[in-house]
Amino acid sequence: MAKQRRSGAGAGNVASNAVRPKPERTRRSVPRGRPSQRTSSYRGVTRHRWTGRFEAHLWDKNTWTEPQRKKKGRQVYLGAYGGEEAAARAYDLAALKYWGRGTVLNFSLSSYDQELKEMEEQSREEYIGSLRRYTNNSNFWQVVLSVIRSDSVAK
């Protein structure tokens, strides 16, 4: 069985190979009134699209390997927070631990005097771990308190 060739634009017809203007693309969806806020105005803070919580991250440029020179480095997760400012403060504290007092912060350096004294005694890994534990513990205690309150209301 031999395939038959179709005649038309693809069959070598010189007249039909002329340049045709592309049709203008139209928007398929209706634009929304106001776009939802996915990211934060604070440095190092993003909003998780499913949970709505604010996550703090920083990029450790000291962990590059040779093929990664054009990349940002390794992403360090600092925790998920209920509030945008709490996540921004966690980023600031981690940035101070990684890069020192000369780094760009979300809030003034003077607001971290007490934390600077505490972080001097810990390594980077220990301090980042304590920031993560803070978010997990605060969330845990909120859940425990809501369970206790619901039990006392049910009785």
- Note whether 73 and 58 are within 8 A (CB): no
Q: Which amino acid is at 42?
A: Y
0.85 exceeded by pTM:
no
Give the span between the Cα atoms of 38 and 33, in whole angstroms.
Answer: 15
**Beta-sheet strands, E only, within 1-155:** 45-47, 54-60, 74-81
- Interval 22-63: pLDDT, tens: 666 555 554 555 555 557 889 999 998 888 889 999 988 776
pLDDT in tens, 68-89: 566 667 888 998 988 899 999 9
- CATH homologous superfamily of 45-144 equals AP2/ERF domain (3.30.730.10)
